[in-house]
Structure formats: structure tokens, C-alpha cells
Structure 1
């Protein structure tokens, strides 16, 4: 639906894309602690959708779904950060796993097994898997800051600010990210994952299957899918860090 000036009517955009807000919220929820409320994410996402409808200009050629999806995710991330959804202790545990994976890969020249990672962390296999279950809430942002100062600021945060958009001449920050060397590094890191991890990432991010569906394909429980997902992300982070 369009206005008399030929622009898309905002109320129509909001109504049409409400299901997308819920879908994105559900995708995020599968990687967050149980303390995070779905309704809170949806509410934040709706604010992001409203912001997208106010800022969108269809004469620029970008699809509204792409533009809105970025704004919705950004609003949800802001909500999570504002409520300190990941404790410092959990973030440090996630870093420990990543560093263990990185050390083992350098030592053996291949992706380490679960048992090897557990041994490197001085944990039994059951304790290691429990740790993976706990840290999954700290892995919402998959690509962190790769600077040498080891800061906790997320790499993607640098692209989420309006100042960055201005620096790139108003271009979509997501497009800038996809065109960067980081995309090539990420693709190479995914290809270096064990075969089952590659399949899991494809099912989750490309085919957008839920945990139950992925578990059925891999013939494991939903909680095991969470563990495998957390481990796959740790492998990627370990490879992407300097």
C-alpha cells in the first residue's frame, strides 16, 4: 500500500512485518539464558521495526525486509545489553573455551575433539558439556572485537552506530561487513569446522530450522544441539581471533 506521494504506508509495513519480529526473537531466544523473556525481546523488536519504517526510503533500492531485519536485531541487542544479559563470569568462561580450542588447533594443526577440549580445560566430558550449555547465552554476537586489547566490545557494535553509516557514505553497514575481508575469513573458518558442526550451522542459519528439528536430523536431544552450537561458535571465534 502506498501514500499519495508514492511511498509505502508505514502502518502497512508494521502490520505486515510483525511476524518477522517474533521469528527473530525466537531465533535469539534459543541462544539466551532462560531468564530472558520473549515478550521483552518482541517489544524491543517492534520498536526497531517502527524505527525502520520511519527511516526507510524505498527509492534507495534496498529491500525493506533486509533493512528492517537489521534494525529489529539491533533493537533487541540493545535491550539485552541494557539488562546485562551475560555476566562477566560467563563471558570469561566462554573466552576460556575459545582459548583452549585455539591452543589445541595450533598444537595439533586440526580441529580438536570434545574430549581434547575438555582435557585442556581440566574438566571431565560431562562438566565440559554443562559449561557449553551455560555459556550459550554469551554467544549471541558471534563475531567479537578482534583487536589486540581483548576488549569485550562486540565487533558488530562498530557497524551498528550511525557514525559508521555516515563514514561509509550512508551505505548499509551490513553490506559493508559482507564485503569486507571478515566475510572471507568467516567462510574459511566455517569450512574448517568438523563436518557435523558445518551441518548444524547450515541447518540453523541457512535453513533456519529450530532446535527440535535440528535434533531430529542429528539424532540428538535439543539440549545437545545447544551444546554443539556453543562449541561450534567457540571454534569459529578461536579461528577468527588474531
Structure 2
């Protein structure tokens, strides 16, 4: 496994530790939006593994798997950062929508209507709906959500354990799924229908628009609004 200089042989490392890359990729993708491709994470992880084999120094006194796991996760996170499509401005707008939704829900004790959210943001209903169209909330999780208020970027260390599934991690995942199902059930009926048609029936926006008898842009707005509500609920969870 090691060369004469005490570093792992890259080809042997790639063969032996490729299951580690796949395991980390599967664990990570379970926490990410559906548009993230598993193969992209695995490819980035293999690059991280190869880099680890070149940088590892046996004299450092750490196990190679521990060192490699850090490099693999770092490479995967770099891949996610590079492919995350939403601009900071877009995310700022989405956070403003979510803040308004959260404040109104706490004050009203129910899901706020679009007109109420628009008023809380100081926008006309037309301008608010236009903002929903620009946000196009296709992600329940953004990369910026992976870091805390103080710049903490250890999302992967907190959510992707090195040693496989544990009873606690399985319990946390089950609770998260249950919380998401409950949050979807609390959506207004039309938004709940949009989410069902989009994610369960795998219909596109045009097909959903035909079913609802509205424009495709209106479906996009409803979808963005649903995502904003769900993100508020999941953040509270």
C-alpha cells in the first residue's frame, strides 16, 4: 500500500478506498436536493482520495482513512459549491420571503396568504409574485445553509459520519423525514397539490399548469412559495 517514501500507492488506494468514497457520497446526497447527482459527488470524491494519497504523511501519526475522509468530503463540498446555481442575491430574496413567512405564521397561528406575505414585505401582490418567479425555489437546502452564522463550514462533519450509519443517525434521518411529511401536510391545499404532482407524480410545470388551469409561471410561483414554507418548518425542526 505504501511507496518507498512512506506515502500510499495511489492506484492501490483508489481500489481499496473507493467504497469509502461511495459511502460518503450516499450519506451526503441524502441531505441534499434532488438535482445533485450522485456520480458527480463520487467523481469529486475520487479526486479527493487521489489527492489524499499524494499528501498523506505517515509521520503525522494519523490513520490514512481519517485523513482521506477529510480530503474526500472537502472535494465533494468544493464540487457542490461550484455547481450551486443560485446567486447570493437570489438567496437573499428567498431568506426575506422565509423571514416574512415565519413571522406571520407565529403571529397568525396559521399559514399566511400570499397577500399577507406581500404586505409584510412592503410589496404589492404582483411584485411579490414576480419575486417568487425569480427565486424559483427548487432547493430545500442551499449550500449557505450548511454554514452557521459565524462562518462554520463543518456541515459534512456534522451530517456525514465517517463510520457508517449508527442507531442515532438512523433515528435522526427518520425524524427528519417525518418532520418533512408533517410540514407538507400543513401546506395550503393548492401548494400541497403542486408538490405532490411535481415530486410524487413527476410532472413538469407545464403539465401541472394544465391540470390546475393556470399559467406555467403561476405554478412556478406556487412551487417557490411551498419551498419557502417548508424551509421555515424544517429550520425550526
TM class by shorter-chain length? 0.5 to 0.7
1:223 and 2:232 are equivalent in the alignment: no
1:195 and 2:196 are equivalent in the alignment: no
Give, in whole Å, the separation in 1 of the partners of 2:136 and 2:154.
16
8 Å CA contact retained: 2:140, 2:230: no
Shift of 1:83: 4.4
Shift of 1:46: 5.6
Corresponding residue number in structure 2 for 1:134: 134
Q: Flag the 1:146–1:50 CA change in 2: closer, same or farther, 3 A.
A: closer
Q: Deviations over 1:170-216 (max 9, x none)?
A: x9x8x67642x222211111111101111111111111111111111
Give, in whole Å, the separation in 2 of the partners of 1:154 and 1:205.
29
1:121 and 2:121 are equivalent in the alignment: yes
Matches within 5 A, 1:1-242: 28=35, 47=40, 79=79, 81-136=81-136, 139-142=138-141, 145=145, 149=149, 159=159, 161=160, 164-168=161-165, 178-179=173-174, 181-242=175-236
Shift of 1:142: 4.0
The TM-score normalised by the length of structure 2 is 0.59
Tell me the number of residue pairs that the alignment of Structure 1 and Structure 2 aligns.
Answer: 173
Shift of 1:81: 2.5
SS at match of 1:241: helix
8 Å CA contact retained: 1:141, 1:156: no
Give, in whole Å, the separation in 1 of the partners of 2:125 and 2:148.
31
Shift of 1:241: 2.3
8 Å CA contact retained: 2:41, 2:79: no
8 Å CA contact retained: 2:205, 2:219: yes
Gaps of 5+ in 2: 1-33, 46-74
Q: Flag the 1:50–1:79 CA change in 2: closer, same or farther, 3 A.
A: closer
Q: Flag the 1:96–1:155 CA change in 2: closer, same or farther, 3 A.
A: farther
Q: Deviations over 1:116-135 (max 9, x none)?
A: 01001100111111111111
Gaps of 5+ in 1: 1-26, 29-40, 53-74
The TM-score normalised by the length of structure 1 is 0.58
Q: Provide the alpha-carbon RMSD of the alignment.
A: 3.8
SS at match of 2:136: helix
